[in-house]
Amino acid sequence: MNASPFVPAQSDASSAEAPPFGVHSIGVTLANANATLERFAWLGDHLAAAIWRRDIVEDETAYDHPGHHTLSCYLNGGYRTERQKLPGQYGAPQRLCALPGDHESRWWVRGHMHFMHLYFLPEHFTRRAVHELDREPRELTLADRTYFEDARIAAMCRSLAALPWEANDERLRANETAHDILSLLLRSQGVRREDAPVKGGLAPVVRRRLRDYIDAHLSDALTLGDLSDVACLSEFHLARMFRTSFGLPPHAWIALRRADLARQLLRTTALSIDEIAARAGYADASHLSHRFRAAVGTSPAAYRRALR
């Protein structure tokens, strides 16, 4: 098997590098089950993608609370692979599996399989719920689904698998495709958590008011006082309840929305970097470049070139 980023490096027995998602990750399980890792890449934003191949007479593979979500898309084969609790249901090209971070599963793997995995963190999946579903991130998780079909998601997974990933521009395009996949996945496979808290947080109408106010005033120097006035709450209570309902403290949520707006303007407009910095609430182009590089991993100009 090829060297794997999921397996600790053993060149120095005294200090092995930790696998990227922890020792219980899907990748570690596959790496220890004689699967061949053909390609792997960090795509930015705590997203990772891998393409695996398995050719085996028969074997049992078990996943136990990997700690990260996984979307699996069969590229080829899988016709005789089944999940033990769902006997008689088999994989096939373009069939999808959604595996939440806290799931447990056992599989009978037979014959040839060629598949792509998209790895992402639970909070990365749910925080988009505020804008895309008008829901609180704490309410939702990824459904545990085996061999479901969704033509749009499958097509985008195949498109992602076809991208080279190696160069910065290619990884940026892959990152955008991965975000589009997660948006579709949230809508089709986002479910209410069984242990979702029922108390605390902001009333839905207040959450919407804050969400819309922030998006409309990203060019301003927003303060906690501004937000507390909008919510009609003290700054202390607003800060605590905001984090509960949005999944991030106010300053981090605002920074995230500014980066999202900058990405959108770079991708869809011909505005100069200075104009985008002003619209997104950055002090100047240098400030935008610094924050954008920290968030996305490249400069605004390089991002624009890659996405166009």
- Give DSSP secondary structure letters for 117-166: EEEE-HHHHHTTHHHHTS--GGGEEE--EEEE--HHHHHHHHHHHHS--S
| Residues 52/56/62/63 CA torsion (nearest 10 deg) | 0
Query: pLDDT > 90: what percent of the chain?
Result: 75
Buried (b) or exposed (e) across 99-130, using 16+ Cβ within 10 A? bbbebebebebbeebbbbbbbbbbebbbbbbb
Domain boundaries along the sequence of the chain: 26-192, 204-307
Query: What is the pLDDT at residue 11?
Result: 41
- Average pLDDT in the 154-162 region? 97
Query: pLDDT > 70: what percent of the chain?
Result: 93
Residue in 264, 253, 22 with CA at minimum distance from that of residue 119: 22
Question: Using an 8 Å Cβ cutoff, are 36 and 52 in contact?
Answer: yes
- Average pLDDT in the 145-164 region? 96
- Average pLDDT in the 56-81 region? 94
Check whether 88 has a pLDDT greater than 90.
yes
Q: Which CATH code for domain 204-307?
A: 1.10.10.60
Query: What is the pLDDT at residue 10?
Result: 46
Query: What is the pLDDT at residue 200?
Result: 83
Instruction: Return the minimum-mean-pLDDT range out of 16-20, 106-110, 152-156.
Output: 16-20
| 94-127 per-position pLDDT tens digit | 999 999 999 999 999 999 999 999 999 988 889 8
Query: Binning pLDDT at 50, 70 and 90, where does residue 290 land?
Result: very high
- Average pLDDT in the 81-86 region? 95
Query: What is the pLDDT at residue 23?
Result: 67
- Average pLDDT in the 151-169 region? 94
Check whether 18 has a pLDDT greater than 60.
no
Cα separation, 92 vs 288, in Å, equals: 45
Query: What is the pLDDT at residue 137?
Result: 93
Check whether 16 has a pLDDT greater than 70.
no
Which residue type does 134 have? D
Query: Binning pLDDT at 50, 70 and 90, where does residue 2 land?
Result: very low
Cα separation, 102 vs 304, in Å, equals: 37
Neighbours of 16 (CB within 10 A): 12
| 231-285 per-position pLDDT tens digit | 999 999 999 999 999 999 999 999 999 999 999 999 999 999 999 999 999 999 9
Query: Binning pLDDT at 50, 70 and 90, where does residue 4 land?
Result: low
Check whether 286 has a pLDDT greater than 60.
yes
Cα separation, 259 vs 270, in Å, equals: 17
Q: What is the DSSP string of the chain?
A: ----TTSPP-SSTT-PPPPTT-TTSHHHHHHTTT-EEEEEEEEETTEEEEEEEEEEEEEEEEEE--SSEEEEEEEEE-TT-EETTSTT----TT-EEEE-TT-EEEEEEEEEEEEEEEEE-HHHHHTTHHHHTS--GGGEEE--EEEE--HHHHHHHHHHHHS--SSHHHHHHHHHHHHHHHHHHHHHHEEE-TT---SSS--HHHHHHHHHHHHHTTTS---HHHHHHHHTS-HHHHHHHHHHHHSS-HHHHHHHHHHHHHHHHHHH----HHHHHHHTT-SSHHHHHHHHHHHHSS-HHHHHHHH-
Check whether 17 has a pLDDT greater than 70.
no
Domain 26-192: top CATH class:
mainly beta
Per-residue tokens: 186: 């949230």
Query: What is the pLDDT at residue 33?
Result: 86
Cross-strand pairs, 107: 61, 83
Per-residue tokens: 1: 């098997």
Check whether 12 has a pLDDT greater than 50.
no
